[in-house]
């Protein structure tokens, strides 16, 4: 018998929603289907507004909370229609929600995702598992990154030391040293979020929210003085466990370093270099007591399709072989949404799904809460 779960993921870039259908009836999760849809522009504008302090925040949040859930429900129904399935075929939806604030260093710390799971459950008629991050926060962790536990479950190989690099809005790495060492992982800094925000700022009428294949960046030159300033950001100096988001890396943060006479494409090229350099610093800083580097780096997330970014990464990581996670059997654009289907499965099976070595939590725990349609 199949055990179908739907995973939903909308990342830091806020450009759309990925939905995947995953079968958990065997020992390893099996990808079945993928559907994605861009965020409606009015909703996207409200979400961007909520990432920065503004007036009337509670009203905007409350409305966007339900609107995002309604949008998620539409995407779920379209995925099921695509596969000719009914809601009765689905055990549960794992919904990440949309992060609008992430403050792991505040006192008290907090993380905030919107996308009302009650609304999503009622509109789909499917059980929803959501609110995955706050249990880890309650246990003293950062609530992020959560995907390393999934990376361990599906990508670990006892015979090979591997790094999984996720180039979403934020970049994070998972270090899979092989048995019996412990898995580690942490955010390394911005990946697509600054690239997308600067591109959108410079091209408000482009019709796209991202720099396709790095074409805009390819027309620029790296501003080494600007890059040096950006790399002085406090986050890059922090030890792991650590996590970040748009709270730290946003247009306002970037603009404080600009003089106004920089060529726009040069700034984009510099942001590509910022991502590559900060990822390389993190990977080159890894040590397990041996002199051997981690040679295998498997890349997922939207950044894998940016050839300019991938070339910059390879230039900064000459000792590593960069591969797509497709070579491990999972397409790069499916990994994060599959992770939240897996987290929903872990909740339903009462399986602890956080890694204290990654998030800093005091112990392992079952993550999330259950929201029923009836």
Question: What confidence tens digit (pLDDT) does each residue in 303-333 have?
Answer: 999 999 999 999 999 999 999 999 999 999 9
Three-state secondary structure call for residue 257: coil
Three-state secondary structure call for residue 23: strand
Looking at the predicted structure, is the pLDDT value of residue 187 above 60?
yes
Q: How far is it, in rounded angstroms, from Cα 270 to Cα 302?
A: 19
Quickly state the pLDDT bin for 37 (edges 50, 70, 90). Answer: very high
Q: How far is it, in rounded angstroms, from Cα 252 to Cα 169?
A: 16
Looking at the predicted structure, is the pLDDT value of residue 291 above 60?
no
Q: Which domains does the chain have, with CATH numbers?
A: 4-143+334-371 (3.30.420.40), 147-328 (3.30.420.40)
321-324 vs 296-300, strand pairing mode: parallel
- For the residues 290-314, what does the mean pLDDT come to? 90
CA 224 → CA 39, 72, 278, 283, 367, distances in Å? 35, 42, 14, 21, 43
Question: Bigger pLDDT: 151 or 289?
Answer: 151
Q: How far is it, in rounded angstroms, from Cα 360 to Cα 239?
A: 11
Looking at the predicted structure, is the pLDDT value of residue 180 above 50?
no
Q: How far is it, in rounded angstroms, from Cα 57 to Cα 35?
A: 31
Two tokens, residue 69 = 């859930």
Q: Which ranges of the chain would DSSP assign to H, the alpha helix?
A: 41-50, 57-83, 117-124, 133-138, 147-155, 192-202, 215-218, 224-230, 234-237, 251-255, 264-284, 307-316, 335-348, 356-359
Two tokens, residue 305 = 């399709």
200, 209 Cβ separation under 8 angstroms: yes
Q: What is the DSSP string of 104-142?
A: TTSSS-EEEEE--HHHHHHHHTS-EEE--HHHHHHTTS-
Cα 48 to its chain centre, rounded Å, is: 16
CA 179 → CA 124, 158, 162, 176, distances in Å? 41, 5, 12, 9
Q: Among 296, 288, 302, which residue's Cα sits nearest to residue 317?
A: 296
CB atoms within 10 A of CB 374: 6
Q: How far is it, in rounded angstroms, from Cα 354 to Cα 201?
A: 36
Among the ranges given (16-30, 178-192, 350-364), the one the predictor scored with the smallest mean pLDDT: 178-192
Quickly state the pLDDT bin for 207 (edges 50, 70, 90). Answer: confident
pTM of the model: 0.95
Among the ranges given (43-52, 127-136, 173-182, 219-228), the one the predictor scored with the smallest mean pLDDT: 173-182
Looking at the predicted structure, is the pLDDT value of residue 290 above 80?
no
Looking at the predicted structure, is the pLDDT value of residue 179 above 80?
no
């Amino acid at each position: 018998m199949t055990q179908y779960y739907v995973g939903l993921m909308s990342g830091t870039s806020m450009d759309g929603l990925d939905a995947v259908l995953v079968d958990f009836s065997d020992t390893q999760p099996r990808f079945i289907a993928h559907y994605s849809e861009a965020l409606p522009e009015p909703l996207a504008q409200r979400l961007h507004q909520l990432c920065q302090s503004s007036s009337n925040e509670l009203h905007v949040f409350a409305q966007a909370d339900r609107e995002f859930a309604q949008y998620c429900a539409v995407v779920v129904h379209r995925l099921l229609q695509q596969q000719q399935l009914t809601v009765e075929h689905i055990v549960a939806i794992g919904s990440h929600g949309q992060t609008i604030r992430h403050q792991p260093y505040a006192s008290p710390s907090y993380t905030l995702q919107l996308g009302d799971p009650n609304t999503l459950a009622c509109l789909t008629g499917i059980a929803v598992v959501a609110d995955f991050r706050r249990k880890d926060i309650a246990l003293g962790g950062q609530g992020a990154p959560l995907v390393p536990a999934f990376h361990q479950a599906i990508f670990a190989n006892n015979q090979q030391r591997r790094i999984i690099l996720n180039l979403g809005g934020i970049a994070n790495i998972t270090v899979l040293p092989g048995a019996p060492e412990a898995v580690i992982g942490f955010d390394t800094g911005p990946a697509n979020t600054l690239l997308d925000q600067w591109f959108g700022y410079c091209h408000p009428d482009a019709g796209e929210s991202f720099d396709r294949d790095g074409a805009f960046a390819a027309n620029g030159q790296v501003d080494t003085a600007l890059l040096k300033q950006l790399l002085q950001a406090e986050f890059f100096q922090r030890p792991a466990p650590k996590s970040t988001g748009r709270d730290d890396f946003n247009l306002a943060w970037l603009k404080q370093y600009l003089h106004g006479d920089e060529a726009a494409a040069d700034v984009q090229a510099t942001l590509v270099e910022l991502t590559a350099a900060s990822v390389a610093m993190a990977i080159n800083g890894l040590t397990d007591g041996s002199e051997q580097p981690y040679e295998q780096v498997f890349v997922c997330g939207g950044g894998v399709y940016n050839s300019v970014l991938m070339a910059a990464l390879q230039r900064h990581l000459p000792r590593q072989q960069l591969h797509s996670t497709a070579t491990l059997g999972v397409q790069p654009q499916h990994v994060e949404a599959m992770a939240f289907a897996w987290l929903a499965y872990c909740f339903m099976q009462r399986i602890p799904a956080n890694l204290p070595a990654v998030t800093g939590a005091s112990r392992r725990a079952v993550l999330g809460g259950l929201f029923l349609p009836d």
